[in-house]
Amino acid sequence: MKRVLVVEDQRDLASLLAHNLRHEGLDVRTVEDGREALPAVRSWQPDLVILDLMLPGVDGFEILRGLRGEGREVPVLILSARGEEQDKVRGFRLDADQYVTKPFSLVELLERVHALLRRASRSEAKAGVLSFGEVVVDPAARTVTRGGESVALSPKAFDLLLSLVRREGRVATRMELLREVWGYGPLVLSRTVDSHIAELRRRLEADAANPRHILTVFKSGYRFER
């Protein structure tokens, strides 16, 4: 399920957008204060941001500048009552992907959203690179970086990471992981998975004791959370 973050301080409009986007099969979160936008992007890793410009705390232009300054390529659709040419030019110079002025056609907006998500999906498929938080995983090169620095993982830990990430939030039991990563034989013990999970957390999580991405599901197994 693709994720859309709506940064909009008008609650009625934010609720309307969220309702219709969810009806389109999308996972949606809303943020009202501009100061909460960047932290929400960092923690939730949305596939698309719908961004108002006139926000309390920090305006939309500053949020967009912050996103691109961090190297985040998430598609951004500006949705604003500011329809002057200089505002649009400024938005595109900051690398916005779309600029829609209020009032707007809901049908057209939804089509623009889907078009941006399709384009982003094609780009990701072509690149083949996976990312979450500060971590970037290149399956083809079998490399992992965190905050731009290389992370050394054992081959099985790397395969385990890919197995979790590609499930996109679905729970993997220990038996499933043993079969996929180790081929599950009589000499492979279930605690093998646990020890490699611990390795991944030590190297990739900001706080291994309180992981945000590689999560334990009680009595079930493990789950990856972007």
Beta-carbon count within 10 A of 66 CB: 16
Round to whole Å and give the CA distance between 224 and 132.
Answer: 10
For range 162-188, the mean pLDDT: 79
H/E stretch holding 130 reads: strand 130-132
d(CA 154, CA 176): 19
90-144 confidence digits (pLDDT tens):
999 999 999 999 999 999 999 999 999 988 776 665 557 788 888 988 887 889 9
Contact 6, 30 (CB under 8 A): yes
Quote the percentage of the chain above a pLDDT of 90.
59
Residues with Cβ within 8 Å of 204's Cβ and at least 6 positions away in sequence, in order, are: 135, 144, 146, 151, 161, 213, 214
Q: How far apart are CA 182 and CA 191, in angstroms?
A: 12
> What pLDDT is attached to residue 224?
93
pLDDT of residue 139: 84
Is residue 7 helix, strand or coil? strand
- Can you tell me whether residue 11 is helix, strand or coil? helix
Out of 3.40.50.2300, 3.40.190.10, 3.40.190.170, 3.90.1640.10, select the CATH number for domain 3-127: 3.40.50.2300
What is this structure's pTM?
A: 0.60
**pLDDT single digits (tens) 43-82:** 888 999 999 999 999 999 999 999 988 878 889 999 999 9
In the chain, domain spans: 3-127, 130-224
Domain 130-224 has CATH 1.10.10.10: yes
